[in-house]
Amino acid sequence: MGDILGLIAKRLGLGLIILLVISAIIFFMVELLPGDIAQAVLGQGATEENLAALRKEMGLDQPAIIRYLDWLGGAVTFDFGNSIVTGSRVSAIIGERFRNTLFLATYAAAIAVPLAIVLGVVVALLRNTVFDRVANVLTLTSISSPEFFLGYILILYFSVNWGMFPAIASLSQDMSFGELLYRTFLPALTLVLVVTAHMMRMTRAAIINLLASPYIEMARLKGTPPWKVIVRHALPNAWAPIINVVALNLAYLITGVVLVEVVFVYPGIGQALVDNVSKRDFPVVQACCLIFAATFILLNLAADVGAILTNPRLRHPK
């Protein structure tokens, strides 16, 4: 067991370092601006006194490294300072939205992950049949389509033509859970379509890769039925790649969410990011980027740890 714990600790440490480097990139990229944030806020026509006053207020008179440490210290407690456009707390702007985005991503993942694994196994079982070919073309199409294409097609059919689901995912505090699921069904479905296709293809590839192994040959020769070969013999050994695939696609979901939120006007963090990029409200952009990057890294870490934990060779050392 000690080996595994050591490996995991090493991986966690590496993840932490990468997160630190990325937070530095996100912070210091804004420093690349000619002039500084105060200049960007007040515009070209600002007087020297106004600039100096604002710099003092925002703490810009201190060296960049101290401001970075300050910002990082705040970020750990979910405090990202004030917006430079509206002046309100950044955490107040994105706090609620972050929860909404997490809800949408979890909703999509709860449907997509089981669906993708089952379909992936079925397609692997039926490989090189017509069904497999059709599934191949369909999943490829779904992966290749931009999220907004799928989103608008769903809106066109499910909401405009058939009137089954609302096109705009407006949320309010006093909604029941069922109502919430109903209102966010179309954005979740869009994400499910994209992510399922990816996961399904990779699950199929992971299982088919294993089918060439000698122990599968053995199982087949002793007369095990094909579905049992896959479920009993191939699947347990395919867990590591599959967990990897799942985590990677959940990470992908995090970015897919940005476009989907804009299509469905969903009050999430992705939409906040896009709005504030065009407004050039740097503290909000930095906070959103840091949150997205941290989630992405966390999921990648989870994938690595999962792969370590499901590896039988590491779990039962000789």
List residues near other proteins by CB under 8 A. Answer: 18, 21-22, 25-26, 29-30, 32-34, 127-130, 137, 140-141, 143-149, 152-153, 155-156, 160-161, 167, 205, 208-209, 211-212, 251-252, 254-255, 258-259, 262, 273-274, 276-278, 280, 282, 285-286, 288-289, 292-293, 296-297, 300
SS3 311: coil
Angstrom distance (rounded) from CA 26 to CA 92? 20
Residue whose CB is less far from other proteins, 38 or 178: 38
Residue whose CB is less far from other proteins, 29 or 118: 29
Angstrom distance (rounded) from CA 275 to CA 262? 10
Residue whose CB is less far from other proteins, 160 or 218: 160
Angstrom distance (rounded) from CA 233 to CA 124? 13
Residue whose CB is less far from other proteins, 208 or 314: 208
Residue whose CB is less far from other proteins, 27 or 107: 27
Cα 43 to its chain centre, rounded Å, is 35
CB of 293 to other proteins, least distance (A): 5
Residue whose CB is less far from other proteins, 100 or 139: 139
Residue whose CB is less far from other proteins, 5 or 168: 168
CB of 22 to other proteins, least distance (A): 6
Angstrom distance (rounded) from CA 300 to CA 292? 12
State the burial class of residue 22 (Cβ atoms within 10 Å of its Cβ: 0-12, 13-18, 19+).
middle
Main-chain dihedrals φ then ψ at residue 299, nearest 5 degrees: -70, -40
CB of 297 to other proteins, least distance (A): 5
Find out whether 73 and 84 touch, Cβ atoms under 8 Å.
Answer: no
With b for 16 or more beta-carbon neighbours within 10 A and e for fewer, the 250-259 pattern comes to: bbbbbebbbb
CB of 158 to other proteins, least distance (A): 12
Quick one: angle between helices 235-263 and 269-279, nearest 10?
50
Main-chain dihedrals φ then ψ at residue 269, nearest 5 degrees: -75, -25
CB of 283 to other proteins, least distance (A): 11
Residue whose CB is less far from other proteins, 283 or 310: 283
Residue whose CB is less far from other proteins, 142 or 184: 142
DSSP 8-state secondary structure symbol assigned to residue 231: I
CB of 68 to other proteins, least distance (A): 16
CB of 270 to other proteins, least distance (A): 9
DSSP string, 119-140: HHHHHHHTTTSHHHHHHHHHHH
Of 293, 282, 298, 299, give the one whose Cα is nearest residue 258.
293
CB of 6 to other proteins, least distance (A): 21
Angstrom distance (rounded) from CA 187 to CA 62? 44
CB of 56 to other proteins, least distance (A): 24
Q: What is the CA radius of gyration of the chain?
A: 24
